[in-house]
Structure 1
Amino acid sequence: MVEEKFYSDRERLVQALTQDCASALQKGIKEHGQASFMVSGGSTPEPAYRALSKRPLPWQQINVALVDERWVEKTEKGSNQAFIEKCLLQNNAAEAPFLGMKTPHATAAEGQADCECAYGELPRPFDICILGMGGDGHTASLFPHAQGLEAALDPEATQLCRAITAKKSEVTGEHTERMTLSLAAILQSQDIKLLITGEEKLKVYREALLGSDELAMPVRSILKQGLKPVTVYWAP
Structure 2
Amino acid sequence: MTLTLAKPQRREFADGAALAPAFAQWTANLLQKSVDERGEALLIVSGGTTPKRFFAALALSAIDWARVTITLADERCVPDDNPRSNARLLRETLLRDHAAAARFAPLADSRLAPEQELAAANARIADLPLPADVVVLGMGDDGHTASWFPGADNLAEAIDPGARTLVLPMRAPGAPEPRLTLTARVILRARALALHIEGADKLKTLERAFGPGPIEEMPIRAALRETAGRLTIFSA
TM-score per shorter chain, which class?
A: over 0.9
Q: Provide the TM-score with structure 2 as the length reference.
A: 0.92
Q: How does 1:1-236 map to 2 (within 5 A)?
A: 1-103=7-109, 104-107=111-114, 109-167=115-173, 169=174, 172=175, 174-175=176-177, 177-226=178-227, 229-235=230-236
How far off its partner does 1:15 sit?
A: 1.8
Name the aligned partner's letter for residue 127 of structure 1: D
SS in 1 for 2:21: helix
CA distance in 1, matches of 2:185, 2:154: 14
CA distance in 1, matches of 2:171, 2:185: 19
Q: Which runs of 5+ in 2 are unaligned?
A: 1-6
CA distance in 2, matches of 1:147, 1:19: 37
Q: How many residues matched?
A: 229
For the aligned residues, what is the CA RMSD?
1.4
CA distance in 1, matches of 2:14, 2:60: 25
Greater mean alpha carbon deviation, residues 92-101 or residues 38-47: 38-47
Name the aligned partner's letter for residue 53 of structure 1: A
CA distance in 2, matches of 1:30, 1:99: 22
| Shift >4 Å, 4+ stretches | none
How far off its partner does 1:93 sit?
A: 1.2
SS in 2 for 1:215: helix
Q: Which runs of 5+ in 1 are unaligned?
A: none
CA distance in 1, matches of 2:160, 2:57: 35
CA distance in 1, matches of 2:113, 2:202: 34
Contact 1:190/1:228 (CA < 8 Å) preserved in 2? Answer: no
Give the percent of matched residue pairs that are identical in Structure 1 and Structure 2: 34
CA distance in 2, matches of 1:158, 1:224: 21
Name the aligned partner's letter for residue 212 of structure 1: G
CA distance in 1, matches of 2:219, 2:165: 18
CA distance in 1, matches of 2:164, 2:19: 34
- Cα 1:228–1:180 shift into 2, 3 Å: farther
How far off its partner does 1:211 sit?
A: 2.3
How far off its partner does 1:58 sit?
A: 1.2
CA distance in 2, matches of 1:229, 1:147: 28
CA distance in 2, matches of 1:45, 1:138: 16
CA distance in 2, matches of 1:51, 1:180: 25
Contact 1:187/1:228 (CA < 8 Å) preserved in 2? Answer: no
CA distance in 2, matches of 1:48, 1:226: 22
